[in-house]
Amino acid sequence: MADAALVLGIETSCDETGVGIVRGGDLLVDAVASSVAEHARFGGVVPEVASRAHLEAMVPTVERACAQAGVRLRDLDALAVTCGPGLAGALAVGVAAAKALAVALGIPLYGVNHLAAHVAVDTIEHGPLPEPTMALLVSGGHSSLLLVTDVTADLRPMGRTIDDAAGEAFDKVARLLGLPFPGGPQIDRIATDGDRDSIAFPRGLSARHDLERHRFDFSFSGLKTAVARWVEQRQADGDSVPVADVSAAFQEAVVDVLTRKAVDACRDQGVGHLLIGGGVAANSRLRALAAERCEAAGITVRVPRPGRCTDNGAMVAALGALFVARGRAPSGLDLPVDSSMPVTAVQA
């Protein structure tokens, strides 16, 4: 039965070695080995360190996933793997492992787009995806608004960041506030003690003249600079930096623009569903403000639980299961790694 296919998904685009197994739309296991601690002292992900960590974690993580799910490799019906976008060396480890498994087991392999997988993961928790859905994908590497008419074939870019990704802005601002990497969760936590209205930080690409050309685009580098200047001024004046207030006001500037533009894109396209995914979707204030604004606009909002917003293998398995259920042809065994794979190419 095609809709109950047993699919194993592999994710290695950044610093998480993720192996997930689904049966149709049901998640059996989501095993993740993260190398984030190894990157912390560098203040960001180091590609060579990530590739080596994937190599070391791949076989144990596949074994752990199978053991926890009570599944033998030979029971699998299909494999899915992220082949882009992401770090080339890191992606190559996952794709090589998936090809080896596909050849050894004689089963089809789907090379898929990481961004589409961030969308597909929500089907595990909230059921079939209404299509069209507007997707707001915000993470350390990407920030985009996508009109999803078919998550296995058609994701149309509506807008994207013209400089830093949203998560990158969180990480950089956290760093200048002396908080450890990755900064998003730190700012999220500290901001709960701060006043989000205490400082008026700029809202990127929101002025009338910017909206003409960049209605659905984002920009976070000006905001990051504004936070840096504000902190420097405090220090120059000999005052202490109110980290909780700066965190809350910065976070508000990011999530205000994200939610405003996402709701505007839904209205523009007449779409009644908004899905938020990617690591920054774990942010508590983003989730709360999106719920508030979508309710006011009559839009249904779907956000996966925080652990499934950050990179994981279940998202790849979930997308793979949709490829199988929709009868899509598998990728060839010569499928390439594409570090800058465009979102318009859902499958390699």
Residues of the shown chain interacting with Zn ion in the complex, contacts defined by CB under 5 A:
139, 311
Long-range contacts of 29-38 (CB under 8 A, 24+ apart): 29/65, 29/68, 29/69, 29/71, 29/314, 30/307, 30/308, 30/312, 30/313, 30/314, 31/61, 31/64, 31/65, 31/68, 31/313, 32/61, 32/311, 32/312, 32/313, 33/57, 33/60, 33/61, 36/181, 36/182
When CB distances are held under 5 to 8 angstroms depending on the partner's kind, the choice from Zn ion, ligand KG4, none that residue 280 binds is ligand KG4
Please give the size of the binding site for ligand KG4, defined by CB under 6 A: 19
Distance CA 245, CA 241 (A): 9
Tokens 């109110």, located at residue:
242
Binding flag, residue 84, ligand KG4 (CB under 6 A): no
Nearer to Zn ion, 70 or 307 (CB): 307
Of these, 20, 85, 194, 279, which contacts ligand KG4 (CB under 6 A)? 279
Q: How far is the CB of 191 from ligand KG4 (least distance, A)?
A: 9
Q: Is residue 141 a contact residue for ligand KG4 (CB under 6 A)?
A: yes
To ligand KG4, the closest distance from the beta carbon of 217 in angstroms equals: 19
To ligand KG4, the closest distance from the beta carbon of 1 in angstroms equals 32
Report CA-CA distances (Å) from 322 to 80, 97, 108, 173: 11, 21, 14, 38
The piece of 63-71, 72-80, 179-187, 194-202 that touches ligand KG4 (CB under 6 A) is 179-187
Triad 215, 119, 129: Cα angle to 5°: 105
Task: For CA atoms 231, 237, 238, 240, give the dihedral sign.
Answer: negative
Residue 245 lies near ligand KG4 (rule: CB under 6 A): no
Binding partner at 140 among Zn ion, ligand KG4, none, C-beta below 5 to 8 Å by kind: ligand KG4
Contacts to ligand KG4 from residues 290-319, by CB under 6 A: 310-311
Residue 338 interacts with, from ligand KG4, Zn ion, none (CB under 5-8 Å by kind) = none
- The tokens describing 332, both together, are 């060839």
Among 20, 84, 159, 185, binds ligand KG4 (CB under 6 A): 185
Rounded Cα distance, 278 and 139, in Å: 5
Shortest distance (Å) from residue 276 CB to ligand KG4: 12
Where do contacts with ligand KG4 occur on this chain (CB under 6 A)?
Answer: 14, 139-141, 167, 170-171, 182-185, 188, 278-280, 282-283, 310-311
